[in-house]
Every structure is written in C-alpha cells, then in structure tokens.
C-alpha cells in the first residue's frame, strides 16, 4: 500500500513533498489513499512530470541551466546584430545624401557624373528596369547649382526636352566726353566733342529649348524678344551752346536667334575634372543698326542719333567655348573660355549722306570662373566673375580714328530653388565693374522638363 501511494504521489507532481518530509508522510496515509488519489493522477501536468524527472535525475539540472544561459547569450547577440544593422542603414543613408549633394553640384556645374561600378553592376543585373529605358525621376531630386553665365553648364539627359523661359533686365548710366557718338558705327560721328549723358534700359524675354541627343550631347535653340529704351542728353562744347538737348529712343522686335551644341569630352573618375566643349551660332534675325533711321545730334551734321533702337547686332557670329568643372565636396568650381568670331559683311547703305561699305565688327574673347554650393536638396547659390575683351571694328579694312577696344567685366551672384522634380527657378544678379558694362543686370530663369 505504501509503495502504491508513493508512486501515486510522484505521478501527481508531488515529488517535492517526498524530498522534504521523507517517506513517513506516505506511511501515515489512510488505507484507502490509493482510491482518493485517483483524481490527482488524472490532473497531472507536464511541468510536474518534468520536475519529478529532474528530481529523480539531478544530473540534468546543470545542463538545463547551461542551455538557458546560452539562450540568453543568443538573444543578446541578436539584439547587438539588430543595433549594428540600424547603424549600417544610417551610414548608407548618409552616404546616399552625400552623393546626392555631389551629383547636384556636378549637375548644375554641367556634366553627367560617372556612375559607380557597383551601381552599374546592379543595374546590369536588375530585371525590373528595361534596357534603354530611363528611370523615372524622383520628387526631391538633388538641386541644381544656380546658373550665372549665359551658356548653361548642365547637360540635358538623353531623350529629355527642357524649356526655359527667361527675363533679363539691364540698366546702365554713363557720363562721358567722347569723339564717338551714340551709335555703334564710329565713322558716322567723328567731329566736334560732344558731352553725353545716356540712360539705357533693356528688357529681353526669351524662350530656350534644350534637347539631349545622348548622355553627353545636347542641342539648344534660343528665341529672344528685345525691348530697349534710351534717354540721351547732349551739349556741343565747341559751339557755345548753354542748353542741353534731350532725346528719347525706343525699339522692340525679335532679337538674334541662337543655335548651340554642347558635348561632354570626358568621363573622369570621382576626383577628376570634367571638360565640356560648346559651339554657338548667332544669327542676325533682329533689326540691325543699319536698318533704323537716324537724325542729326546736337552737333548738327556731325553727330547722329537713331530714331528707333536696333534689337540685333547685324552680324553673324560663331562662338566656340571650353568649360572645366572640378568637383570638390561640398562645392564645385567651374570656369570657361570662349571666342566670338563676328563675321564681316558688306552693308552697302547710306546713313545721313555717308556711305557705309564693308564692316568688320571686332571679335570678342572672354573667360569666366565661379563656385557653386548646394545649401540643401532644393536650394543653392553661385558666385562668379566674367570678363570679355572686344576688339576694334573696321570699316573698309581700317579702324576709324578714335575707336578703342572695350573691356566688359561683371561680378555675378545667383540663387536657385527646385520647386519640384520638373521645375526650378533661378535669379542672377550682375554688377558692372567697367564703364561699358551695365550697372545692374537681373536675370530670372524658370526651366522645366517637357517630356
């Protein structure tokens, strides 16, 4: 009876009672204990069997504790791995942001940055992007560096059309004593010394279209519309006149249409400079100085003033250029050199009883340099300097007496803001540093992608 009661106690999960109190507790049980403990056997739990088994075999306890300790170590290692993965993701995001800013500087500085080898391999192995199909642009794409020079340095992506409306305002005011008059044709105004005060305002609205033929080649066409307003005050010193003569002239019409192409010459590594070659052709679709009418100036019969202002130069021109862009995180340094060849023409016209034959306008050579910096993913600014040297004009193969070369110098500052993934706006402020350069020049550009 005692033996059956002990077995019943162990099967019911009461082994701890036998260990604590000994077998005496079972010996004092009533004779019918086996019958009373039958429900206990039916309610036995797995945990109780495990405890009983552990009590019967004390060698399993250390193993169980060792397994539990190893489980806790594995959980700690798992938490450590998860923390390291979070750090790695944060570093990847920081690297991606740095690359975005660098690509933004390279973009507005004008080149298509070379893709990393890992990115090229991933794109080659990816089956989700069809070959030859450009990826869709993302909203919040890196900003472009604010453009400050006439020739843009950004190359349009292959198959993409960019339309750029722009508005430019220029103001200049000059007080000068000169042997040459108001018009750009020096031979017409040689004579008495004439004091002139000239206020000039020019508005140029233009629409520019750029299309990417390939990843490294783009073409461009620009259609300008020009409005000019000049106020001139003159007084002939040699005639004893005491009163000033004021004259106002305006002119508005289509300007000179321009065509251009630009090509990225190289694709350097991450630290090398980029070279972009350009070629621009300027037509003479605008009203040139030989198509407007003139009236005598304050020195009658000697100086002349146009009744309406020209909106074009009157000459075809070809301008090759070379731009260099050097990225240096977080900025991009850029500069270019150019040469404008103004092609001579036979005007063959008479202005105020003076015959004008073959005119060879002076060629122009220039350079510029600047720095662009992205402030964040949307805003950027640029600083730069531009200088142009204009040679003497020649009429019938000879430079008119009193003609001089012209130096044009400007200090430029520009701001740009990306409105969305297809549109941005930029504003450029230019300050003239020489007498022949406009005092103030403001240019607003709003390029947008047109697919």
Residue 364 lies in a domain: yes
CATH of the domain at 433: 2.40.160.40
Provide mean pLDDT across the span 342-360. 85
Residue 121 domain-assigned?
no
Q: Which residues pair with 350 in a beta bridge?
A: 355
| Model pLDDT, residue 112 | 53
How many domains are contained in the chain?
2
pLDDT higher at 180 or 337: 337
Find tokens 């989700």 and name the residue: 128
Q: What is the pLDDT of residues 81-106, one digit of tens each?
A: 999 999 999 898 888 888 877 776 66
**Range of 422's domain?**
161-450
**Domain endpoint, select from 39, 58, 77:** 58
Q: Is residue 170 one of the residues assigned to a domain?
A: yes
Q: Does any domain span residue 355?
A: yes
Please report which confidence band the pLDDT of residue 296 belongs to, taking 50, 70 and 90 as the band edges: low
Distance, CA of 273 to CA of 270 (rounded, Å): 9
Please say if the pLDDT value at position 249 is more than 90.
Answer: no
Task: Summarize pLDDT for 99-156 with one digit per residue, the tens.
Answer: 877 776 666 655 555 555 455 444 444 444 443 333 343 333 333 566 777 766 678 8
Other CB atoms within a 10 A radius of the CB of residue 127 amount to 5
pLDDT grade, residue 211 (50/70/90)? very high
Q: What SS3 string covers the chain?
A: CHHHHHHHHHHCCCHHHHHHHCCHHHHCCCCCHHHHCHHHHHCCCHHHHHHHHHHHCCCHHHHHHHHHHHHHHHHHHHHHHHHHHHHHHHHHHHHHHHHHHHHHHHHHHCCCCCCCHHHHHHHHHCCCCCCCCCCCCCCCCCCCCCCCCCCCCCCCCECCEEEEEEEEEEEEEEEEEECCCCCCCHHHCCCCCEEEEEEEEEEEEEEEEEEEEECCEEEEEEEEEEEEEEEEEEEEHHHCCCCCEEEEEEEEEECCCEEEEEEECCCCCCCCCEEEEEEEEECCCCCCCCCCCEEECCCCCCCEEECECCCCCCCCEEEEEEEEEEEECCEEEEEEEEEEEECCEEEEEEECCEEEEEEECCCEEEEEEEEEEECCCCEEEEEEEEEEEECCCEECCECCCCCCCEEEEEEEEEEEEECCCCEEEEEEEEEECCCCCCCEEEEEECCEEEC
User: At which of 42, 58, 74 does a domain end?
Assistant: 58
Read off the pLDDT of residues 408-451 as tens digits, 9 standing for 90 and up. Answer: 999 999 999 989 888 989 999 999 999 888 999 999 999 998 86
- 282: in domain: yes
């Amino acid at each position: 009876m005692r033996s059956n009661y002990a077995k019943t106690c162990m099967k019911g999960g009461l082994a701890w009672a036998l260990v604590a109190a000994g077998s005496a507790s079972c010996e004092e049980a009533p004779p019918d204990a086996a019958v009373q403990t039958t429900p206990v056997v039916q309610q036995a739990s797995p945990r109780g069997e495990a405890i009983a088994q552990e009590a019967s075999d004390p060698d399993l306890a250390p193993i169980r504790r060792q397994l539990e300790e190893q489980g806790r170590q594995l959980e700690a290692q798992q938490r450590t791995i998860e923390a390291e993965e979070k750090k790695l993701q944060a570093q990847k995001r920081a690297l991606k942001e740095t690359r975005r800013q660098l690509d933004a500087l390279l973009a507005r500085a004008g080149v298509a940055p070379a893709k990393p080898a890992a990115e090229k391999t991933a794109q080659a192995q990816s089956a989700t992007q069809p070959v030859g199909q450009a990826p869709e642009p993302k909203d919040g794409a890196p900003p472009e560096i604010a453009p400050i020079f006439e020739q843009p340095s950004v190359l349009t992506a292959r198959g993409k059309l960019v339309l750029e409306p722009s508005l430019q305002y220029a103001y200049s005011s000059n007080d000068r004593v000169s042997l040459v008059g108001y018009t750009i044709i020096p031979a017409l105004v040689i004579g008495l010394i004439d004091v002139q005060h000239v206020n000039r305002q020019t508005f140029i609205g233009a629409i520019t279209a750029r299309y990417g033929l390939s990843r490294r080649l783009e073409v461009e066409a620009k259609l300008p519309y020009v409005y000019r307003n000049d106020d001139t005050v003159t007084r002939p010193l040699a005639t004893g006149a005491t009163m000033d003569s004021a004259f106002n002239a305006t002119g508005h019409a289509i300007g000179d249409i321009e065509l251009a192409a630009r090509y990225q010459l190289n694709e350097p590594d991450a630290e090398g400079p980029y070279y972009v070659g350009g070629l621009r052709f300027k037509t003479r679709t605008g009203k040139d100085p030989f198509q407007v009418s003139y009236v005598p100036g304050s020195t009658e019969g000697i100086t002349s003033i146009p009744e309406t202002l020209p909106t074009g130069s009157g000459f075809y021109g070809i301008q090759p250029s070379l731009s260099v862009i050097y990225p240096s995180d977080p900025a991009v340094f850029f500069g270019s050199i150019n040469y404008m060849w103004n092609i001579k023409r036979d005007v063959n016209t008479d202005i105020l009883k003076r015959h004008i034959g073959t005119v060879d306008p002076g060629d122009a050579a220039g350079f510029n340099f600047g720095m662009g910096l992205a402030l964040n993913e949307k805003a950027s600014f640029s600083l730069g300097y531009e200088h142009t040297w204009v040679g003497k004009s020649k009429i019938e193969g000879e430079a008119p007496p009193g003609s001089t070369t012209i130096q044009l110098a400007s200090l430029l500052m520009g701001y740009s803001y990306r409105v969305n993934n297809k549109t941005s706006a930029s504003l450029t402020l230019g300050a003239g540093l020489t007498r022949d350069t406009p005092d103030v020049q403001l240019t607003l550009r709003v390029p947008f992608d047109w697919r």
